[in-house]
Amino acid sequence: MNDQTFADQNLKPTSEGYGAVLFYSEFDDPNAWGDALKTNIPGLDFRVYPDVGNPDDVRHILAWKAYPGFFEPFRNLAQVVNLGAGVDALVGRNDLPDVPISRLSDPGMVALMRSYVLFSVIRYARDIPSFEKAQRRREWHYIHPRPLHQIKVGILGLGHLGAAVASGLREAGFDVRGWDHATKSIAGVKCYSAADDRNEFLSEVEILVNMMPLTPGTTGLIDRDLLNALPRGAKFVNASRGPVVDEPALIEALRSGQIGGATLDVFCVEPLPADHPFWTMENVLVTPHLASITVPEAAARDVAESIRRVSAGGEPLHRVDPQRGY
Ligand code: GLV
């Protein structure tokens, strides 16, 4: 939106009238966010928790995993922006007034997610875990590579990130299919929906990638039945949320060989407790919840736009439906 558009809408292209923005995250860099937002809205009143100032000034909160009760003091809140894609830590809580909640969505986040899943899928498709083990034995362990178009990859969840991941895998040459509650259409990807037989989708999948948001409806979705519906030895990648998986069922499937290997970025408890079996399982690769992060320079444009829109009585960008949970 340029200044002309502001003039047309009788809005002010300055921070005046926007109220204060409060930032709360243990993971994101407040300075990078402050700088990026002020580049978009010069003079913005940007505050970083715990330096809240007068809570009544705070109209916009940018938060990641705010503790219970965090939102209670803010009586003039106009919107909450989740500092990430998955809004499961924001919906269904009792300290939030009825204000719009939005998530971040930027090309940097999409690119990082695609790269993580591509890496994980290619690692299995090219038998890299076998070579890692063979190297430790000083063994020249030849496995004839399979053409990528023969390798069937399934994506569970075809939302914004899931669809981008499916297209990325397709462009890389894999045989990709996806499943979503809703009917989706992605070029070159066979899409199944809730109306289709889930087991028909699962029965062919050699590498399953979870991209489902965490909602009451997806908690524990990836359970023993689902894992048993995959061909024996299938690989599993989780890049969305830990509790979508029934972890004891996955551990059992990894031990029995029903699941041949797993690449896990997210867990029911994070950080993953030191005594958790995943740490020491030979066929599991653990990464510490970083498949995708937000790049403030890229995401701040949209957040600034949401601050302007909401201050003018409009809708933020990338608003989520709290009932649906994404
Ligand atoms: C990260 O997990 C996110 O939801 O952005």
Same domain, 115 and 31: no
Cα(209)–Cα(82) distance, integer angstroms:
24
Compute φ and ψ for 135, nearest 5 degrees. Answer: -60, -40
Encoded tokens for 270: 């994070």
213 belongs to a structural domain: yes
**Distance of CA 193 from the midpoint of ligand 1 (Å):** 24
56 with 25, same domain?
yes
Q: Which of 160, 170, 177, 241 does the annotation list as catalytic? A: 241
Asked if residue 73 and residue 125 are part of one domain, the reply reads: no
Q: What is the pLDDT of residue 303?
A: 97
Answer yes or no: is the C-beta of 299 below 6 A from any ligand 1 atom. Answer: no
C-alpha closest to that of 319 among 98, 76, 81: 81
Q: Does the Cβ of 77 fall within 6 Å of ligand 1?
A: no
Are 130 and 218 found together in one domain? yes
Looking at the fold, whether 117 and 238 belong to one and the same domain comes out as yes
Q: Is 289 annotated in the active site?
A: yes
Residue with tokens 């991209």: 211
Q: Could you tell me the CATH number of the domain that includes residue 138?
A: 3.40.50.720
213 close to ligand 1 (CB < 6 Angstrom): no
Residues 160 and 247 reside in one and the same domain = yes
CA of 4 to the centre of ligand 1 (A): 35
Q: Which residues pair with 177 in a beta bridge?
A: 154, 190
Decide if 241 is catalytic.
yes
The CA distance from 299 to 106, in Å, is 5
- Sequential pLDDT tens for the chain (326 residues): 444 444 444 444 446 699 999 999 999 999 999 999 999 999 999 999 999 999 999 999 999 999 999 999 999 999 999 999 999 999 989 999 999 999 999 899 999 999 999 999 999 999 999 999 999 999 999 999 999 999 999 999 999 999 999 999 999 999 999 999 999 999 999 999 999 989 999 999 999 999 999 999 999 999 999 999 999 999 999 999 999 999 999 999 999 999 999 999 999 999 999 999 999 999 999 999 999 998 899 899 999 999 999 999 999 999 999 999 99
Residue 326 lies in a domain: no
CA of 293 to the centre of ligand 1 (A): 7
Ligand 1 center from residue 10 Cα (angstroms): 36
183 and 45 belong to one structural domain: no
Q: Which atom of ligand 1 is nearest to the CA of 240?
A: 2
On whether both 182 and 100 belong to a single domain, the answer is no
Domain co-membership, 271 together with 225: yes
Residue 292 CA to ligand 1 centre (angstroms): 7
| Minimum CA distance residue for ligand 1 atom 1 | 84
Q: Is residue 323 part of a domain?
A: no
Q: Is 85 in the pocket of ligand 1 (CB under 6 A)?
A: yes
User: Given this model, what pLDDT does residue 12 score?
Assistant: 44
Ligand 1 atom at shortest distance from the alpha carbon of 84: 5
Reduce the secondary structure of the chain to three states and give it as a string.
Answer: CCHHHHHHCCCCCCCCCCCEEEEECCCCCHHHHHHHHHHHCCCCCEEECCCCCCHHHEEEEEECCCCCCCCCCCCCCCEEEECCCCCCCCCCCCCCCCCCEECCCCHHHHHHHHHHHHHHHHHHHCCHHHHHHHHHCCCCCCCCCCCHHHCEEEEECCCHHHHHHHHHHHHCCCEEEEEECCCCCECCEEEEECCCCHHHHHCCCCEEEECCCCCCCCCCCECHHHHHCCCCCEEEEECCCHHHECHHHHHHHHHHCCEEEEEECCCCCCCCCCCCHHHHCCCEEECCCCCCCCCHHHHHHHHHHHHHHHHCCCCCCCECCCCCCC
Domain-located, residue 275: yes
pLDDT, residue 9, reads 45
Catalytic residue among 103, 123, 170, 289: 289
The reply to whether 316 falls in a domain is no
Answer yes or no: is 192 within a domain: yes
**Model pLDDT, residue 167:** 98
Pocket probe mutation, ligand 1, options 293, 295, 326, max atoms within 8 Å of Cβ: 293
- What CA–CA distance (Å, rounded) separates 174 from 153? 7
- Indicate if 113 and 87 belong to the same structural domain: no
> 240 CA distance to ligand 1 centroid (A)?
7
Looking at the structure, tell me whether residues 205 and 59 fall in a common domain: no
Q: How far is CA 34 from CA 31, 62, 103, 319, in A?
A: 5, 11, 18, 22
| Ligand 1 pocket member 162 (CB < 6 A) | no
Q: How far is the centre of ligand 1, averaged over its atoms, from the C-alpha of 137 (Å)?
A: 38
One domain, residues 230 and 139: yes
Indicate if ligand 1 lies below 6 Å from the C-beta of 212.
no
Q: Which domain holds residue 135?
A: 107-286
Quote the CA–CA distance of 285 and 187 in Å, as a whole number: 31
pLDDT at position 11 is: 44
User: Which ligand 1 atom is the nearest neighbour of the CA of 289?
Assistant: 2
**Is 321 inside a domain boundary?**
no
Residue with tokens 């219970």: 68
In this prediction, residue 92 carries a pLDDT of 87
* Count of domains forming the chain: 2
Segment 254-292, tens digit of pLDDT: 999 999 999 999 999 999 999 999 999 999 999 999 999
86 lines ligand 1 (CB under 6 A): yes
In a domain, 317, yes or no: no
